[in-house]
Amino acid sequence: MKTLTLSKNQMQEDLYIRAEEIFLLTAIIVRRGISNGFVELSGHVQRLYARLHPVDQSYGEGHKPHVLAELNLDMGIDERDSPELQARIHEKGMSESEAYIRYLDHLIAMGKPMISGPPSMAIFCQYPECSCPFDMGADNQCLRGLKQPEKTATAGTSS
């Protein structure tokens, strides 16, 4: 069986395509209020750093963010490296990015906000008293996906 050998440029292209997919999926997750997502591309060292935090994460002083998932992707395949090292960097990057992308896909498919602590801690939306980083949506729905509290009807009686 013949082994397919990729060029340095093909290996880098593979990894950059994965980086683009991570950017897009993270944007979808953030837009849908599933999680807080961060993706940083350092082009000068050809590295992508991505991480997800709960949607209700507090970023104030003294709060260490809870990391749901993170990826530190090395996309730097140097022509000075041996073909074996180039292949190892490519294989490692493809494997790690595939696992991260599967997690992002899973979160999107679930469609539920990832919140801190046990889910029972926040059953109903408390807007505007909540510490949620979002305003109420235009459709008056909680952007974290929490239920609206029952409103007690105070209808007056008319004679």
**Token pair 């000068």 in the structure block, residue:** 44
Residue 58 lies in a domain: yes
Confidence label for 131 from pLDDT (cuts 50, 70 and 90): low
Residue 146 lies in a domain: no
Return d(Cα 101, Cα 116) in angstroms, integer: 22
Query: Cβ–Cβ contacts within 10 Å for residue 14, how many?
Result: 17
**Token pair 């490692």 in the structure block, residue:** 92
Confidence label for 147 from pLDDT (cuts 50, 70 and 90): low
Whether the pLDDT of residue 58 is over 90: the answer is no
Indicate the DSSP class of residue 46.
Answer: T
What does the pLDDT look like over 21-39, one tens digit per residue? 999 999 999 999 999 999 9
Residue 54 lies in a domain: yes
Whether the pLDDT of residue 40 is over 70: the answer is yes
Confidence label for 157 from pLDDT (cuts 50, 70 and 90): very low
Residue 104 lies in a domain: yes
| CB contact set of 90 (below 8 Å; sequence gap of 6+) | 6, 11, 14, 15, 77
Residue 65 lies in a domain: yes
Residue 59 lies in a domain: yes
Residue 140 lies in a domain: no
The closest of 133, 116, 118 to 65, measured between CA atoms, is: 116
Share of the chain above pLDDT 90, in %: 47
What does the pLDDT look like over 60-97, one tens digit per residue? 888 888 888 999 999 888 888 888 898 999 999 999 99
Tokens in use for 108? 């999107």
Reported pTM: 0.69
User: How many independent structural domains does the chain possess?
Assistant: 1
| CB contact set of 105 (below 8 Å; sequence gap of 6+) | 25
Return d(Cα 123, Cα 100) in angstroms, integer: 29
CA dihedral 7, 9, 15, 17 (to 10 degrees): -120
Return d(Cα 82, Cα 85) in angstroms, integer: 5
Domain of 15, in residue numbers: 8-110
Residue 81 lies in a domain: yes
